[in-house]
Amino acid sequence: MRWLSAVALALMPVTAQAQALSCSVPDRVSVPRLERPARDEPVRKPPTTGYLLSMSWSPQHCADVRNPKDVRDRFQCSGENGRFGWVLHGLWPETDTRDYPQWCRPAKIVPQPVLKKHMCMTPSAQLLQHEWAKHGTCMSPHPAAYFAAASKLFRAVRFPDMKALTAEPQTAGSIRRAFAARNKGVTAAMVAVSTNRDGWLDEVRLCLGPRMRPRACKPFQVGAPDGKPVRITPMPGS
């Protein structure tokens, strides 16, 4: 598992825990259900040639959900367990095409200690289970190792001032540049931007090479074009 040793060298020095503005994990988190590939999501095991670190803007996710207190979204969106800005969607192995590795081996339920350790990073037990089953099983036989690598990479990212970005008109290109300016060694070409169908900022993804160092995104990874106007949902109470 050369990828695991490469994590120690990737990105920049680790900063403080990113973007969990407040977070309180209960003694026991909800047990997620097992996830298996759907009929239209076949098992794929091509060689990995890079990675995506996909980060979700939590205020937009919570604005999009129908019921913030539904079991899947309650921890993240109800306000009962904290306030979240940027959270980690997942660490995804990639290839040079859209046929990335997925569902590489059967996945058991992620153990409670692992769920609890990473709930402030990815504030949904079911999403943690999904990321492990679909992506993590293609990187490691152990969920603890997969999430440790994802956590180290996520905590190394420096985030721009989202309040300032929210206050001014933005484009996908300006958001890319804002992230690049905050992260040494990262250029705008290494940052992918995703919006929902109405043009609201949904996710930012950092494109990584096989040694998990930032690299230019491939054309199919880029997402929104630079000139696309992007709106940003502000943090509640900001």
pLDDT one-digit tens code per residue, 55-65: 999 999 999 98
d(CA 207, CA 190): 5
Cα separation, 153 vs 82, in Å, equals 22
Question: Could you tell me the fold of the domain covering 2-9+43-230?
Answer: Ribonuclease Rh; Chain A (3.90.730)
> Can you tell me the mean pLDDT for 41-63?
96
- What DSSP letter does each residue of 104-140 carry, written as one string? -S--PPPPHHHHHHHTTTS--HHHHHHHHHHTGGGT-
Count CB-CB contacts under 10 A for residue 210: 16
Round to whole Å and give the CA distance between 131 and 137. 9
Tell me whether residue 94 is one of the annotated catalytic residues: no
Catalytic residue, candidates 94, 130, 135, 203: 135
* DSSP structure class, residue 92: E
pTM of the model: 0.90
- Residue 199, pLDDT score: 96
Alpha carbon distance 110, 112 (integer Å): 7
Task: List the catalytic residue out of 94, 118, 131, 203.
Answer: 131
Choice among 89, 94, 118, 130 that is catalytic: 89
Among residues of the chain, what percentage have pLDDT more than 90?
A: 78
Q: What is the domain partition of the chain in residue ranges?
A: 2-9+43-230
pLDDT tens digits, residue range 75-126? Answer: 999 888 889 999 999 999 999 999 999 999 999 999 999 999 999 999 999 9
Q: What is the pLDDT of residue 1?
A: 53
